[in-house]
Amino acid sequence: MLFAALGPSTTRVRWPGSWLEPVEKVSTAMLRRGFEALTLATLVLGTSLLEDEKIKELMQQMTLDEKVGQLELLSRPWGDDFNGESAQWQETLQRIKGGKLGALFNGQGVEINRELQRVAVEESRLGIPLIFAADVWHGMWTIFPAPLAEAASWEPHLAYETARASAVETTASGLMWTFSPMVDTARDQRWGRNLEGAGEDPFLGEAFAVARVQGFQGNDTRANDSLASCLKHFAGYGGVLGGLDYSESDMSEATFREVFLPPFSAFVETNTATCECESECAAIRAGALTIMSAFQALGGVPATGNRWLLTDVLRSELGFKGFVVTDYNADGEMVNHGFAANQSDAARLALSAGVDMSMHSGAFRHLPDLVSNGSVSHERLDEAVLNVLRAKAAMGLFSNPYKTLDPSKEWPKGQGDKIEAHEQLARRAARKSLVLLKNENEILPLKKRGQRIAVIGWWANSTDTDGVGVIWGNKSHTVTLLQGLEAVLDSSQLRFVHGVDPSDASTLLHGLGKDSLAHAVAAARWADVVLLALGESSPMVGEAKSVTTLELPLGQRLLAEAVAKTKTPTVVLLKNGRALELEGAVRNASAIMVTWFLGKMTGHAIADVLFGDYSPSGRLPISFPIKSGQQPLYYNHLSSGRPCIWGWGWNNCYRDAPGREALFSFGQRRIPQPEVMVSLVFEPFSSSQRPM
């Protein structure tokens, strides 16, 4: 690897301390335990002799239009009337029958997808099967904690378990390929996509990325319950300037290779010079079948048209053997970048750079003309088609095109035992994801008897528990915070007040919410303890949800201040998809627990921890700033020649805040021994131990 933490000698890294709680000594042994429980699959992207002959025969028979068709990924039309008069359905069916479509995405359901596969296999000239894909990031029907939340467990094997369960449900729903995991290292909390990854540290990110790929794909990519994974977004997307989504990334090559590349290279590194034998290298690789190119420009060149990135680094240097797919319309958007003259030029640039499959844009439909006039080589087109066909073979589609499409096994038919097991896993994963940051006067755990509890806040009785990456799910069975508390407490001990909507301050500012505020204050005065449910809603996080400030919305801050004036001890429960700037009554609350987006078993898991049935064990995978303006903020920054000494001039401080000091640091959790010093020891892995 290319970053110091995995160098040949033991490296001790001192985390910047927090103003508040220190953290205990940890080591890579914690992370390695997760890897030891994994059975790393040996993925050979090569094919059997029969499949090699099949692919060779297909390449000889395919027309130019059919070759280009294999490189197109389209959204499956909405609805199920594929034999009706829908123009979009008719166009899709005609493309399938003409052998001019390689894959469809975001359409689940065995019946429809099986029929579409039948058309591809039985009615097209060459019978090449389709791939059915979807965005399934942390659960198909049973929703597990969002990726950043799960990373707070610091247990890669937990991510393996939830990804495996997700794969079982997804493949039993007529799907074969997920656009996950996102493995972008994210150092700027203004970026909305923090929730999709594993945080600010490349080593932790690599550990969880490996676990998730192995969980999705399993030990055999040809198995019916193997869900092909897609590493994204290659590469440097987490470094967009200003945390503003789709902006350019501008970084040194050293930073790129040490911070942003490692979670990807864990899967595709094939330098046998570092291994004793070829098979050893295969055994320690995770083996993701596909990689998605990023939206942003890197070094002034859009990633989707960046030959250095997609060919020199990914193929030649790292030896990736799968296929590269664009993000949604990323090739066509090179026109807006000012890098391509038009859609035809965008197709030329993308394919020539190393893209193999285009998602949704339609730009690749210009390829027949581009190949015919010599703008794109036949050799590069054939290479892209081979990459796609070999991946289909590795997925077992040539031997079993109806893999995942058996109506008798569609979820949840006959899956009662698995449903129960997945719910138990969801509860366990959610508990392990909770991070207790503060617990003054040991206010936690709460008492199940003899204590009046007011739960105040917009999400306490909301099923908004998923965050990102969930299209379907099963909201009717989501356990809210209030329901989790009601399962533990007698009704006479509990009062609930909604408070204010997540991002709406207007009602309070204009006096229209005085009744709601009065109810909240009255409940707080009645209670012995207040649970204050604050934070972000799902529409506030994810793609295209960048922010300029990390403060909680004004309405929620005003609510917190009103409750604080009652002097009732308060536990702040934060729902968040990024680190937040905490101030005033929120920061000064008796206790603070980060609850993220926990999925289906949210209420039960939080109640388990609040009442002491489970001890909070999560650690922050990101750093909470003192001020929003400190972004990007991360623990493993270089030391300054003039370190920040608060109160002294001419050093590395802001005028209004310590320079790179975090309010709550990466790796932090509330521990009972405040005298324990901060120390992180990265222990070097031998070639047989290194998690790749």
Instruction: With H, G, I as helix, E, B as strand and everything else as coil, classify residue 89.
Output: helix
Strand partners, 75: 105
Annotated active-site residue in 188, 201, 327, 608: 327
Q: Is 327 considered catalytic here?
A: yes
Query: What does the H/E/C string look like for 166-213?
Result: HHHHHHCCCCCEECCCECCCCCCCCCHHHHHCCCCCHHHHHHHHHHHH
Cβ count within 10 A of residue 44: 12
Q: Which residues lie below 8 Å from residue 520, measured CB to CB, with a gap of 6+?
A: 456, 497, 499, 559, 562, 563
Q: Which conformational region is residue 466 in: left (phi greater than 0), alpha (psi within -120 to 50 degrees), or beta?
A: alpha
Residue carrying structure tokens 């039960």: 604
State both tokens at 575: 């729902």
- Please state, in angstroms and rounded to a whole number, the distance separating the CA atoms of residues 601 and 607: 10
Q: Which residues lie below 8 Å from residue 592, measured CB to CB, with a gap of 6+?
A: 436, 437, 438, 571, 572, 574, 582, 586
Return the closest-CA partner of residue 67 out of 395, 402, 364, 391: 364
H/E element, 682: strand 680-682
161: DSSP letter:
H
- Please state, in angstroms and rounded to a whole number, the distance separating the CA atoms of residues 293 and 311: 12
Q: What share of the chain is helix, strand, coil (3-state, %, to 5)?
A: 40, 10, 50
Residue 475 vs residues 68, 178, 242: alpha-carbon distances, Å: 40, 21, 35
Q: What sign has the CA pseudo-torsion 217, 219, 220, 226?
A: negative
Cβ count within 10 A of residue 450: 7
Residue carrying structure tokens 């004036």: 565
Burial class, 683, CB count within 10 angstroms (exposed 0-12 / middle 13-18 / buried 19+) = middle
Amino acid, single-letter form, for residue 9: S
CB 216 within 8 A of CB 178: yes
- Please state, in angstroms and rounded to a whole number, the distance separating the CA atoms of residues 7 and 532: 45
Cβ count within 10 A of residue 617: 17
Return the closest-CA partner of residue 215 out of 124, 275, 144, 112: 144
Instruction: With H, G, I as helix, E, B as strand and everything else as coil, classify residue 384.
Output: helix
State both tokens at 402: 């109806």
Q: Which conformational region is residue 470 in: left (phi greater than 0), alpha (psi within -120 to 50 degrees), or beta?
A: beta
DSSP string for residues in 308-363: IIIIIIIIIIT---SEEE-STTTTTTHHHHTS-SSHHHHHHHHHHHT--BEESS-G
In the chain, the N- to C-terminal Cα span, in Å, equals 9
Burial class, 373, CB count within 10 angstroms (exposed 0-12 / middle 13-18 / buried 19+) = exposed
Q: Which residues are catalytic?
A: 327
